[in-house]
């Protein structure tokens, strides 16, 4: 395994990250190939470029592009790309904060999946992985009503272009998109 990252920060407003990761390991061949006397060699390369910049005291933008290549003996190469645009807004009184993200992904297989952290509500986190071909949008907001009450909401939708159903078994959905709405309210004593 090899991992390298370069980071450049300027004036506490902007940040540029370049990351490269290389993994080499062995695992079993696919059962269809009926090769049991040796292991398949696997090579996975990932490259990422991310950029964040604070436009003003209220606005911040961020971008990321990530590429992955998965090579395994006896299988065809699998590739993936994920790109997203972030936008974050903080109200002048810091009582209201909102952030949104638009993601595009085109990933050949589960082996070439790409993970991406998402902003979420209090005491919650989201670290989904992406594969197939599609896009995702989510919008978060936090509103401090006063010193005791805070409200968080999150709306997200994922749309797939290359499949006509999602999930399997009892979780199967007969459509090419999935959406979510979440609400959290906190009262401090």
pLDDT tens digits, 72-112: 988 899 999 999 999 999 988 889 999 999 999 999 999 99
pLDDT band at 27 (very low <50, low <70, confident <90, very high): confident
Which is more confidently placed, 84 or 11? 84
pLDDT digits (tens, 9 = 90+) for 132-161: 999 999 999 999 998 899 999 999 999 999
pLDDT at 85: 97
pLDDT at 29: 81
Q: Is the dihedral of CA 105, 107, 110, 113 positive or negative?
A: negative
What domains are defined for the chain? Answer: 2-187 (2.40.160)
């Amino acid at each position: 395994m090899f991992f390298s990252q370069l980071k450049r920060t300027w004036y506490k407003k902007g940040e540029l990250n370049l990351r490269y990761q290389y993994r080499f390991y062995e695992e079993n061949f696919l059962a269809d190939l009926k090769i049991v006397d040796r292991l398949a060699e696997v090579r996975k390369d990932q490259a990422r470029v991310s950029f964040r910049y604070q436009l003003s005291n209220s606005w911040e933008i961020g971008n990321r592009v990530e590429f992955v290549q998965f090579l395994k003996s006896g299988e065809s190469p699998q590739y993936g790309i994920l790109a997203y645009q972030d936008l974050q807004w903080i109200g002048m009184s810091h009582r209201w904060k909102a952030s949104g993200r638009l993601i595009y992904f085109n990933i050949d297989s589960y082996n070439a999946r790409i993970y991406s952290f998402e902003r979420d509500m209090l005491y919650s986190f989201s670290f989904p992985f992406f594969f197939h071909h599609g896009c995702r949008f989510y919008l978060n907001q936090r509103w401090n009503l006063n010193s005791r009450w805070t409200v968080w909401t999150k709306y997200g939708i994922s749309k797939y272009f290359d499949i006509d159903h999602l999930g399997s078994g009892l979780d199967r959905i007969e459509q090419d998109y999935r959406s979510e709405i979440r609400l959290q309210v906190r009262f401090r004593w």
